[in-house]
Chains A and B, each alone.
Chain A
């Protein structure tokens, strides 16, 4: 035993003697997660967030959150000698004079766009597979909160460079606050510290962007993961996978290796984008001046749907009794997002109310098996995408030589016509897929072999569906005793799958499954964990 090994051993034992942590560590490392590629989509968001923290820290070394005016004297010639805020000047310095500053800024911005995009993709996965159902509704709500916080964090970051685009965004935020009836004026004064633009906003956005919001996101994200840890991950139906167990690979070594590698893959994609594709060229926008605005001033993509709702909204407002209520701003930017996010957060309970399904669910749905939910999802996505296209109507009209007026009218109609249409199509599509599954179950897979019977009749031979597929479709385990007899009804692939069950894990504290349903078949916690064996059929080495 080398000296180093001895040292590490000694240190480990020393820690264990004092904290008794080895059993906790062992239990954690042996934790089983179900295997499916789509379960790793949420991780992308987490890795983007880590990269955002790292690059953001670097940027904060050089950024000055101040609106006091300086005369720019950096490397970018077209702005040399121009009076601007320190915030903008320091952003230009980061881009042109700080070593590695521009690539850090660009990775940070791409990571922000992809943080939100991966949240959206993860959300779609969770929605369409029904992973939000009891007992995971609270985690769904945390996810929605993370989405909203991500939008807020992104808006704050968008406003920090104090370039023309930042100021335009802040101006719109001010207008949104002003549109709120009764309290609007006071709300806007409260947030902006007086009349727009004022001098208070930047400091407030900075502390929100680098401290309050990221800390909240970090806290909620930790809670999000702890809930997954304690409630255990959902899984798709398959051989040996039931509502009452978890079948998959262990945290160590399988997921430790996968997750470690995955982080670097995400980092590679972000670094490639940051190095190869220019994002937010602040030097071209120029310093913020309330008298200027650029064509194509858009929010980052995740706010685009609100820009679109504003552009598609008819110009309605109410004036009377000495007050003006601007529905043309209030409805698309305050009421609509309020409705969207409230409906989203309440969806698990809404669905349970309409279906009457209040059981625990640890097995996921395939989207086709729940046509109404899938159709609601695609309908909502269609609504969202129409809004997002509306938010870019000027650039799209300019690039494709369309009439912006006609385009806006087409989108206004599409907003109400397309979603119901997509709902109907999706639902029919799901039902058709169910029919084709039924066909497979009853008749098997086409083999291409045609046999002629002695009577002269031609018969098409089919191969029975392999057992793993059969279980995935029916959720019914075959008769194992019959299989071990050697009369394998499963066809190809069956013998590769065996299941090892672990000791049921005892769970303490807040997550204790006291509130479980009285029906033992609906038990959610604790679920024993198991790993699938190696394809050779031999048991995996004990970890």
Chain B
């Protein structure tokens, strides 16, 4: 008995500590909430949340008609597609804005297509997915305002090994590939880094900070839009296409001229 009494006291103390822990967290949360409501909440918040819930509602309609066959009525996934709970708005923007979703056929890797949804619809879909389990969100504003030179250095370190030095794409194993980056919009480039689709690694905000992602996005948009100052780009595939042109155009022209001049008396 004498030995069990202090043990029981210890247990009840532990229980008290646990309860008091919850109480402190609850108190702190309500305090933060009150303070936020009092000072931090932006005006027009009510209107925004109404818009947001409208978007979620619209997005749900779009989801049920266009996506639920594969991803399930409750985003739980199914035979055709993975669960979308917790993938976040970023993933939706990447997949739908680049036309990869809805998928046309079960192939090695979802190909880029003409988008089926407008930007407004994509945002509604994204709001719906975001409202179910959260996940990385798409930052608003201009995504190409980062540091161009920093973006170049980060691109060469993190992206060029698969996407090629000029973003022309490259091969991965068994028919998978790193796609060409020229058709990708700034949002698609940014959200690809956030969501890490297919074989691509996911770059969380602790691996590449948001300003670094913006820098890379700017660099990608810059080099893919920049004109080729030296003439025809030859696809920017490196020495392979140059060698092909040397043989097909250069040698053909030179041998043709040799034939011509050789036939002169």
Q: Could you list which residues of chain A lie within 8 angstroms of chain B, going by C-beta atoms?
A: 35-41, 44, 77-82, 95-96, 102, 106, 109-110, 113-114, 117-118, 121, 164-165, 254, 258, 261-262, 265-266, 269-270, 273, 275-281, 284-286, 289, 291-301, 304, 391-399, 401-406, 534-535
Contact = CB atoms under 8 A, between A and B. Distances in A.
Contacts of A275: 231
B165 interface: yes
Contacts of B242: 109, 113, 277, 279-280, 300-301
CB-based closest 8 A-B pairs: A37-B262, A301-B243, A295-B170, A278-B230, A294-B165, A403-B175, A113-B246, A397-B171
B222 A78 contact: yes
Interface of B: 108, 148-149, 151-153, 156-157, 160-166, 168-175, 177-178, 219, 222-223, 228-247, 249-251, 253-255, 257-259, 261-265
A258 B264 CA distance: 8
A331 B175 CA distance: 28
B164 A295 contact: yes
Given A82-B149, A403-B174, A276 B232 contact: yes
The interface residues of chain B, by DSSP majority, are classed as helix
B240 A405 contact: no
B240 A293 contact: no
B149 A295 contact: no
Contacts of A114: 246, 250-251, 254
Contacts of A110: 246, 250
Given A278-B233, A392-B240, 6 more contacts: A37-B263, A121-B255, A269-B253, A273-B249, A304-B239, A398-B171
Contact of A269 (B171, B178, B233, B257): B257
Contacts of B261: 37, 40, 258, 261-262, 265
B254 A269 contact: yes
Nearest to A41: B258
Point out which of A109, A118, A261, A292 has the most chain B C-beta atoms below 10 A from its C-beta.
Answer: A292
B247 to A, nearest CB: 6
Contacts of A102: 229-230
B238, B258, B262 — which one has the most chain A CB atoms within 10 A of its CB? B238
Contacts of A278: 228-234
B125 to A, nearest CB: 28
B157 A279 contact: no
Nearest to B255: A121
Interface of A is mostly: helix
Nearest to A106: B230
B262 A36 contact: yes
Contacts of B229: 95-96, 102, 278, 281
Contact of B175 (A269, A391, A402): A402
A394 B239 contact: no
Contacts of B246: 110, 113-114, 117, 273, 301
A347 to B, nearest CB: 23
Given A44-B258, A78-B222, A278-B232, A296 B263 contact: no
B254 A399 contact: no
Nearest to A292: B156
Given A37-B262, A40-B262, A114-B254, A294 B149 contact: no
A401 B250 CA distance: 27
A458 to B, nearest CB: 40
A535 to B, nearest CB: 8
A120 B234 CA distance: 23
16 contacts: A102-B229, A117-B250, A280-B239, A280-B242, A284-B165, A286-B153, A293-B161, A294-B160, A295-B178, A300-B239, A304-B240, A395-B170, A398-B170, A403-B174, A404-B171, A404-B173
